[in-house]
């Protein structure tokens, strides 16, 4: 049994009105005893300076009282509660307590206030400052201290915080794998790959040890060896045993049979086969560390065990085998130990190189700064800023966090350091929380207090928990975590749960009465039992036989009153499926995945790709086969055989594209959903239908938001694909939303439920447990985390002991969530085979079994006796019922007849965010035509260049045989254009790109790496070709004189008509005079855009735009006449006119004494395929719009003298 200290410090019942608010104090608050209430009360005392000799030395402001907790939700709750208390206390001071007689906080505090008018003024100031109150998460506190004390802490000013370090960890582990494993020979590589298939598998194993304090690696004798040396050492040991076996094995049958060994275990019938198996292994080549199972029978220790009396068969070979089998025949230990150290170091270097810092780095950086030279000065600064700190949820601390607060406050008793927590609820070891750190702190703090009144649950519930956890001598295994019984609040004396006229006991054990039950049988039985009982309760709630009573007020039980607690997503799915069989809807509250990781996100991607390219058969076929549209394989095959029906589908999706372009993504998606009855079809799925529909709606909203920031439909689809490839559940707006409100049965993990309360709780799988696989444990003397890579038996035992201790705490958290009633599933659980004649089960290894059986293995009979002894007024034992209930069909409420109001106002539908593309995309058709009036073939042909203005011809990445590899045969279309743009944005113009880097980028974009040589020469040509003069090329533009992808927003403050814009452009620009009239819908709002490149040369500013258009098969196709025709075809004239206006406004607001003709050098369009040394000037278009034109355009947009960016 665990024991970390024999020292016991007397804990006193807490009186929050008299608690000394200086020095170090530890407050242990059992579940439901009012921890948040206590913190808020102490906060008021600190603000008011009350408490006589136990008060702080002076009243404090909200900026001086530091409250630290561990989640954003907890900080929000504390801030809200404290703000409310401050306001109410101020009102009590103003009214001299009148109307506050029922509230003990205000009544008692008022009696301690000498001048209520002054106190009200202090409280008003505090209320107004609550947004600046120092209520932070631990990471938020560390970040502020590092930033506010940057010089003392050594924090870099420009470091950015990353929420998820998985990408960096993955890269660092891949680096380790490449450097440490690639150079090894095949035999060693095979051994390693048998352990971990790839670097990600290795990362999964070492990930828990990459943050926080590095664990103490047990058995580090192999530290000085390389992997290759370790491999050879193991091979040599095995070869030695093999050689000995071959020399001596002929005598082993006689040696063993002539000894006093148990002949049943070692019979003459079995021995020859065993010896033959080992001999075959001994004669084989030694390339790995595998040994036959028969080898263990010839260990000297095994032979001794099987010889009760008399002569033991002994031989040096048996001793050598024994010695070999006790060795760690693996590379796991050396690779894991090296990987942990190397990967951690690589992560640190990579984050430093990127100028990034992780959340856990905030703690380690502050910890290091406090313990480095100058740390005392930093400690003093923090103490002065925060004289009093309250650390909430202290049971979830870790060694770093504790060291930080000890370094700041230890030995400074004029300050206050209050730790508040409950070690019985320390359940977050997987996040790095360390109960041993709590126990170490508890051993060092002299002043300890407890809260002993439960304000949450009924008296019966409180009594049942007291009775269950008082059974065991050490209910939480640790001597320093005793279970102290608590009282129930007088206000809860009349809480009761009534079902069919009977008051149900607070705690019910639903018992599966068998001699032994497998895990699967247990789970299936309890899932059904849980669902059927909930069904019975819900039926009773509707017909008036199931009630919750509180102070003589009865409330029928509804689905919203019931919570099912589980350990994992898999268990949640089992419960949801069981509930669905009874027609009961449910919601899983612990689902914190990114919505982009769902099947619905991938289905939407297929749909949108089909909308963009309905002419591509494979893409459209995949969209129709998604679960959202739901065509079967037979339906699609029928379409393949019916050309007319297929054309109808193509036209349908082309129409969606027109809706998208004219009205936005959300109307397009709505049209798809209506036409294909997506909502109705999804809701037919009783288990996940509502969940999936919510995901579709959520994704639609996110797409609409992203659309406002992106320029084209193609860009939006690329954005969606990127989000699916890299979902981030830490981004709040990505997290999956709850699909409904309070009309569902809730399901939650126990971890997620901590801190919450529910009227009725079901705990169906309380007997479940998982044995520790990794030997991670804590040293019982110094509390340090240890990792035994050799997986020694004692280390595994210690790790399992700690696992059981946490399972007990989890069970306590689960049972204390309920207000009225908790049902628990229990059975004589076994894992694997039954244990023979004793019939003992494995239940004692679970938390519930440990409490019932005091940690001892027992059979089903003894379990029944233990449950019988537990039965009382507050605890009932009921057998699993086989009642076959009919499904629950909730009564529909009679809807109130509603009438719509008549709309008499006017809707301004001209305001929108538009772009150059938005002003030109309507040129194809007049608005008087609808999509159905247009031939689908013409629509697709016309839409292609408009969807990506650089697109010409076939956009496929798949090419046939290429006659000549050149810039003119490089793939065409939107994807190629986007790829070239990205390269020009990434590459420095004054350096030649590396061919290997280009090959990698080509493959990432889906092109052949064989293009790398052509692409390199092409880019060098682009960089070095003279533009306006021999002295200007891209390579002569220095980084400080260029700006890539400059974004702008131009307000359109009065209605912009196409005719007015046409007149103005035709008046000043010869290219515009050759263009057809614009036909966009009148618009007000904002025009947005991105300029590929802005640069300064010889004190003039230029705009430059890259065009990847394919105009012909050689450089002669890019003459001035040809590129002017392309400019006209795509209305690039309007593009550079709008971009020039944006640049004009930008420079006017940034440059002193700005003069358009002096400072603006014009617009340059580079047709990238047209650069030809034999034809200078080809592929380059330069123009300077007249100032009078730009000035008139400025007036037309009517936003003069505003600082747009």
Nearest-angstrom CA–CA distance, 2 and 850: 14
Least confident of 549-553, 781-785, 835-839: 835-839
Among 879, 904, 922, residue at a domain's last position: 879
If you write DSSP's letter for every residue of 618-684 in order, what string do you get? HHHHHHHHSTTT---HHHHHHHHH-HHHHHHHHHHHHHHHHHHHHH-HHHHHHHHHHHTTHHHHHHT
Helices (H), 414-550: 435-444, 459-469, 519-543
Least confident of 128-142, 185-199, 629-643, 1127-1141: 629-643
Residues 179 and 294 in one domain: no
Q: What is the CATH number of the domain that holds 200?
A: 1.10.3170.10
Alpha-carbon torsion (327, 328, 330, 331), positive or negative: negative
| pLDDT for residue 665 | 94
- Distance, CA of 1162 to CA of 1156 (rounded, Å): 10
For residue 1118, tell me if it sits in a domain: yes
pLDDT value of residue 963: 60
502-503 vs 496-499, strand pairing mode: antiparallel
189 and 288 belong to one structural domain? no
Q: What is the pLDDT, as a whole number, of residue 157?
A: 58
Provide the pLDDT for residue 589: 85
**Using one digit for the tens of pLDDT, what is the confidence trace for 66-88?**
999 988 888 999 999 999 999 99
**Residue 1 within any structural domain of the chain:** no
CA-nearest of 919, 947, 946 to 1072 is: 919
The model's confidence at residue 740, banded by pLDDT at 50, 70 and 90, is low
Q: Is the pLDDT of residue 884 over 80?
A: no
| pLDDT given for residue 1199 in this prediction | 46
Residue 575: is its pLDDT beyond 60?
A: yes
Q: Does pLDDT of 937 surpass 50?
A: no
Which phi and psi angles does 510 have, rounded to 5°? -90, 110
| 715 lies in some domain | yes
One domain, residues 32 and 125: yes
- Please report which confidence band the pLDDT of residue 366 belongs to, taking 50, 70 and 90 as the band edges: very high
Question: What confidence tens digit (pLDDT) does each residue in 332-345 have?
Answer: 889 999 999 999 99
Of 815, 813, 817, 838, which Cα lies nearest the Cα of 828?
838
Which pLDDT does position 934 carry in this prediction? Answer: 33
Given a cut of 50, whether residue 774 has pLDDT beyond it is yes
Residue 691 to residues 208, 728, 1023, 1176: CA-CA distances in angstroms? 32, 19, 52, 62
**Same domain, residue pair 1009 and 977:** yes
* Same domain, yes or no: 538 and 636: no
**Can you tell me the mean pLDDT for 514-523?**
94
Residues 1063-1082: what's their mean pLDDT? 92
657 pLDDT more than 60: yes
Strand partners, 217: 787
Q: In terms of Cα–Cα distance, which of 711, 625, 623, 636 is closest to 669?
A: 623
Over residues 260-309, the pLDDT tens digits come to: 999 889 998 999 999 999 999 999 999 999 999 999 999 999 999 999 88
Check pLDDT > 70 for residue 61: yes
pLDDT at 1113: 87
Per-residue pLDDT of 243-268, as tens digits, reads: 999 999 999 999 999 999 998 899 98
Q: Are residues 439 and 507 in the same domain?
A: no
The DSSP result for 457-493, as a single string, is: S-HHHHHHHHHHHTSSSSTTS-TTS-----EEPGGGT
Highest mean pLDDT range out of 519-528, 549-558, 949-958? 519-528
Q: How does residue 974 score in pLDDT terms, banded at 50, 70 and 90?
A: confident
Q: Choose between 710 and 876: higher pLDDT.
A: 876
Q: What does 569-634 look like in DSSP terms, one character per residue? A: HHHHHHHHHHHHHTT--EEETT---BGGGSHHHHHHHHHHHHHH-TT-HHHHHHHHHSTTT---HH
What whole-number distance in Å separates Cα of residue 1042 and Cα of residue 879? 78
Q: pLDDT value at position 956?
A: 40
- Which residues, other chains included, contact 719 with Cβ-Cβ below 8 Å and sequence gap of 6+? 706, 710
Q: Are residues 602 and 581 in the same domain?
A: no
Kindly state whether residues 1055 and 1175 are assigned to the same domain. yes
> Which of 428, 451, 474 marks a domain boundary?
451
d(CA 984, CA 1095): 14
Phi, psi of 270 (to 5 degrees): -90, -30
Residue 664 and residue 693 in one domain: yes
Q: Are 499 and 546 in contact (CB under 8 A)?
A: yes
Q: What pLDDT, on the 0 to 100 scale, is given for residue 758?
A: 95
Half-sphere exposure of 486 (CA within 13 A, CB side): 28
Compute the average pLDDT of residues 774-798.
87
Q: What does the block give as tokens for 502?
A: 């009977």
* Same-domain status, 208 and 335: yes
Q: How far apart are CA 801 and CA 807, in angstroms?
A: 10
Question: How confident is the model over 888-916, as a mean pLDDT?
Answer: 76
DSSP labels, 236-262: HHHHHHHHHHHHHGGGHHHHHHTSSS-
* Catalytically active residues, by annotation: 1105
Q: What is the CATH number of the domain that holds 525?
A: 3.40.50.300
Task: Please report which confidence band the pLDDT of residue 928 belongs to, taking 50, 70 and 90 as the band edges.
Answer: very low
Residue 931 lies in a domain: no
| % of the chain surpassing 90 pLDDT | 61
In a domain, 976, yes or no: yes
- Residue 1051 in any domain: the answer is yes
Q: Which domain holds residue 284?
A: 228-325
Instruction: Tell me the pLDDT tens digit for each residue of 171-180.
Output: 999 999 999 9
Q: State mean pLDDT over 707-718.
A: 90
Residue 920 pLDDT: 82
Residues 1051 and 1154 in one domain: yes
Encode pLDDT of 448-470 as tens digits.
999 999 999 999 999 999 999 99
CATH of the domain at 647: 1.10.486.10
- Decide if 907 is inside a domain: no
**pLDDT for 565 beyond 90:** yes
Q: Out of 108-112, 756-760, 855-859, give the one with best mean pLDDT.
A: 756-760
Q: How confident is the model at residue 414 (pLDDT cuts 50, 70, 90)?
A: very high
Q: Which of 451, 475, 503 is the last residue of a domain?
A: 451
Do residues 552 and 601 share a domain? Answer: no
470 domain-assigned: no
Q: Per-residue confidence at 924, pLDDT binned at 50, 70, 90?
A: very low
More reliable by pLDDT, 104 or 319: 319
- Confidence band (pLDDT; 50, 70, 90) for 550? confident
Domain tally, the chain? 7
Mean pLDDT of the chain: 88
């Amino acid at each position: 049994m665990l024991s970390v200290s024999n020292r016991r410090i007397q804990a006193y019942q807490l009186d929050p009105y008299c608690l000394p608010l200086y020095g170090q104090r530890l407050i242990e608050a059992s579940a439901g005893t009012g921890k948040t209430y206590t913190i808020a009360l102490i906060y008021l005392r600190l603000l008011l300076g009350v408490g006589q000799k136990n008060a702080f030395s002076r009243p404090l402001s909200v900026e001086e009282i530091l409250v630290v907790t561990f989640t954003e939700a907890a900080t929000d709750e504390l801030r809200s509660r404290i703000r409310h208390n401050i306001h109410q206390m101020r009102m009590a001071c103003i009214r001299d307590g009148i109307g506050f007689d029922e509230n003990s906080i205000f009544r008692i505090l008022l009696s301690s206030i000498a001048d209520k008018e002054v106190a009200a003024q202090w409280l008003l100031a505090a209320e107004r400052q609550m947004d600046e109150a120092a209520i932070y998460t631990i990471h938020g506190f560390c970040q502020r201290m590092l930033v506010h004390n940057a010089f003392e802490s050594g924090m870099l000013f420009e470091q950015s915080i990353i929420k998820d370090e998985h990408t960096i960890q993955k890269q660092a582990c891949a680096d380790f794998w490449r450097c440490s494993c690639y150079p090894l020979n095949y035999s060693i590589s095979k051994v390693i790959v048998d352990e971990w298939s790839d670097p990600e598998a290795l990362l999964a194993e070492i990930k828990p040890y990459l943050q926080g304090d590095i664990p103490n690696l047990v058995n580090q004798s192999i530290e000085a060896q390389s992997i290759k040396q370790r491999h050879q050492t193991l091979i040599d040991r095995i070869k030695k045993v093999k050689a000995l076996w071959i020399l001596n094995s002929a005598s082993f049958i006689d040696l063993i049979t002539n000894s006093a060994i148990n002949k049943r275990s070692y019979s003459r019938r079995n021995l020859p086969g065993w010896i033959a198996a080992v001999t075959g292994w001994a004669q084989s080549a030694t390339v790995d560390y595998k040994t036959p199972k028969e080898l263990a029978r010839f260990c000297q220790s095994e032979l001794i065990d099987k010889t009760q009396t008399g002569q033991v068969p002994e031989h040096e070979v048996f001793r050598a085998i024994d010695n070999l089998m006790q060795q760690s025949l693996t590379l796991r230990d050396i690779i894991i130990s090296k990987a942990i150290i190397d990967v951690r170091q690589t992560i640190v270097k990579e984050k430093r190189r990127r100028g990034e810092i992780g959340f856990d780095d905030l703690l380690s950086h502050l910890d290091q700064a406090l313990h480095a030279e100058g740390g005392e000065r930093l400690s003093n600064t923090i103490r002065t800023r925060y004289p009093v700190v309250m650390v909430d949820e202290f049971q979830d601390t870790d060694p770093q966090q504790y060291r930080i607060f000890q370094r700041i406050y230890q030995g400074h008793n004029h300050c206050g350091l209050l730790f508040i927590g409950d070690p019985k609820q320390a359940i977050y070891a997987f996040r790095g929380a360390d109960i041993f750190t709590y126990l170490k702190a508890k051993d060092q703090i002299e002043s300890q207090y407890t809260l002993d009144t439960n304000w949450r649950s009924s008296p019966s519930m409180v009594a049942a928990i007291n009775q269950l956890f008082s059974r065991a001598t050490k209910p939480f295994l640790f001597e320093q975590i005793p279970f102290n019984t608590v009282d129930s609040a007088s206000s809860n004396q009349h809480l009761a749960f009534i079902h069919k006229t009977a008051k149900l006991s607070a705690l019910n054990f639903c018992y599966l009465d068998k001699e032994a039950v497998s895990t699967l049988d247990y789970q299936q039985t309890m899932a059904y039992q849980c669902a059927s009982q909930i069904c019975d309760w819900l039926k009773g709630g509707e017909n008036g036989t199931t009630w919750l009573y509180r102070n003589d007020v009865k409330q029928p039980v509804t689905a919203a009153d019931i919570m099912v607690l589980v350990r994992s997503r898999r268990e949640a799915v089992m419960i949801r499926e069981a509930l669905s069989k009874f027609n009961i809807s449910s919601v899983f509250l612990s689902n914190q995945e990114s919505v982009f990781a769902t099947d619905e996100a991938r289905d939407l991607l297929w749909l949108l790709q089909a909308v963009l390219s309905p002419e591509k058969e494979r893409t459209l076929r995949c969209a129709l086969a998604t679960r959202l549209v739901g065509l079967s394989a037979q339906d699609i095959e029928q379409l393949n055989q019916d050309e007319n029906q297929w054309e109808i589908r193509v036209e349908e999706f082309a129409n969606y594209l027109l809706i998208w372009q004219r009205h936005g993504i959300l109307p397009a998606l709505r049209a798809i959903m209506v036409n294909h009855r997506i909502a109705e079809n999804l809701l037919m799925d009783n288990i996940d239908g509502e969940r999936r529909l919510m995901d579709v709606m959520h994704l639609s909203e996110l797409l609409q938001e992203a659309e406002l920031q992106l320029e084209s439909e193609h860009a939006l689809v690329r954005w969606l694909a990127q989000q699916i490839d890299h979902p981030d559940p830490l981004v709040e707006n990505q997290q999956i939303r709850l699909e409904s409100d309070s009309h569902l049965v809730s399901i939650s993990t126990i971890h997620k439920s901590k801190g919450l309360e529910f009227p009725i709780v079901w705990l169906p799988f309380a007997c479940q447990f998982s044995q520790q696989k990794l030997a991670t444990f804590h040293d019982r003397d110094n509390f340090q985390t240890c990792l035994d890579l050799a997986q020694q038996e004692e280390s595994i035992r210690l790790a399992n002991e700690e696992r059981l201790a946490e399972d007990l705490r989890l069970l306590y958290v689960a049972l204390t969530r309920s207000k009225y009633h908790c049902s628990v599933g229990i059975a004589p659980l076994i894992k694997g085979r039954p244990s023979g004649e004793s019939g003992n089960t494995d239940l004692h290894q679970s938390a519930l079994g440990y409490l019932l059986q005091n940690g001892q293995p027992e059979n089903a009979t003894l379990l029944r006796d233990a449950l019988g002894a537990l039965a009382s007024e507050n605890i009932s034992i009921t057998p699993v019922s086989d009642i076959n209930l009919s499904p629950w069909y909730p009564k529909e409420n009679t809807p109130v007849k509603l009438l719509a109001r008549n709309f008499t106002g006017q809707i301004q539908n001209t305001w929108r965010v538009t772009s150059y593309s938005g002003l030109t995309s309507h040129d194809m058709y007049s608005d008087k035509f609808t999509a159905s009036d247009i031939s689908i073939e013409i629509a697709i042909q016309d839409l292609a260049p408009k969807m990506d203005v650089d697109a010409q011809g076939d956009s496929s990445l798949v090419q046939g045989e290429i006659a000549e590899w050149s810039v003119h045969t490089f793939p065409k279309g939107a994807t190629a254009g986007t790829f070239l743009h990205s390269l020009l944005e990434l590459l420095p113009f004054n350096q030649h790109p590396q061919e290997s880097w280009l090959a990698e980028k080509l493959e990432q974009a889906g092109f052949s790496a064989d293009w790398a040589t052509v692409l390199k020469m092409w880019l060098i040509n682009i960089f070095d070709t003279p533009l306006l003069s021999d002295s200007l090329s891209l390579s002569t533009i220095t980084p400080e004189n260029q700006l890539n992808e400059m974004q702008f927003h131009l307000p359109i403050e009065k209605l912009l008509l196409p005719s007015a814009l046409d007149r103005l452009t035709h008046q000043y620009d010869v290219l515009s005079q050759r263009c057809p009239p614009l036909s966009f819908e009148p618009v007000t709002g904002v025009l947005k855009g991105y300029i590929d490149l802005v640069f300064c040369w010889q004190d003039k500013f230029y705009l430059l735009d890259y065009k990847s258009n394919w105009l012909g098969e050689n450089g002669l196709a890019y003459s001035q006449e040809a590129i002017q025709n392309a400019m006209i075809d795509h209305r690039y004239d309007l593009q550079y006119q709008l971009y020039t206006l944006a640049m004009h406004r930008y420079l006017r607001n940034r440059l002193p004494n700005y003069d358009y003709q002096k400072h603006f050098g014009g617009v340059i369009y580079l047709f990238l395929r047209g650069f030809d040394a034999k034809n200078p000037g080809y592929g380059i278009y330069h123009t300077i719009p007249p100032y009078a034109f730009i000035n008139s355009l400025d007036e037309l947009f009517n936003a003069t003298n505003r600082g747009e960016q």
